Amino acid sequence: MNKPVALITGGSRGIGYGCALHLADAGFDIAIGDVRPETDCSEALDTLRARGANVLYAICDISDGQQRAALIARIRETFGRLNVLVNNAGVAPKERNDILQATEASFDFVMSINLKGSYFMTQAAANWMIEQYQADPQFAGCIINISSISSTVVSVNRGEYCISKAGVSMATQLWAMRLAEYGLQVYEIRPGVIATDMTAGVKAKYDAIIANGGIPLRRWGTPDDIARAVTSLARGDLPYSTGQVILVDGGMTTQRL
């Protein structure tokens, strides 16, 4: 029971599951909060357990405060500690609409999960991490926000998504400054074009961008690419940094002439 514990929201597939796999390999026990029925994730969870991790799976819509609190309570009961929070859960708009036609309902849906949900999940985890630090000054805690290059790169047909991720970027800075006195590090990982369910519907668009050199490394990113960065931060490989943005985008957002 001395292994560190990592909570990954949206950790049953895609980037979140890639993070869970790498963190399990790095010696973490894993808690996953997700909205999918546990029976739909049984094979993925069994794989994590086969890698040596104790695994807790809990249904949690992070936009709901009661469900966030219940998730934290389950982790307390099961593991008694939390060392790492990976705020990965996120959604795209159900329909891509020009900002001249986008609806308030779509805005509220995206913001409630991507920004409000991750912000208050951080609050809940951070207060518990502070409690652990006060009980043991050797406690090491880390919060990692998965945002997107859309926090700075404009897509006028999904403005609510861009705004939500820009908010995550500012939240990272805010939490990094507030939690530094407790030795708790906060980071933002900013993925580029990653092959997941979210990008499957626009594959042809990004294939063309890659073919035309829009991504200097000339390939799609993978959940594994993001997970490697997450694991490095979770292990404490950058002990004298906080509030930093880690770009994992194949060079896509690098300014060029």
Catalogue the active-site residues.
Answer: 161
Q: Which residues of 114-135 are buried (b: 16+ CB within 10 A; e: fewer)?
A: bbbbbbbbbebbbebbbebbee
- Nearest by Cα to 24 from 3, 44, 45, 52: 52
The HSE-up count of residue 133 (CA atoms within 13 Å, CB side) is: 17
Contact, 107 vs 119, CB < 8 A? Answer: no
Amino acid at residue number 36 = R
CA angle 89–93–94, rounded 5-degree value: 105
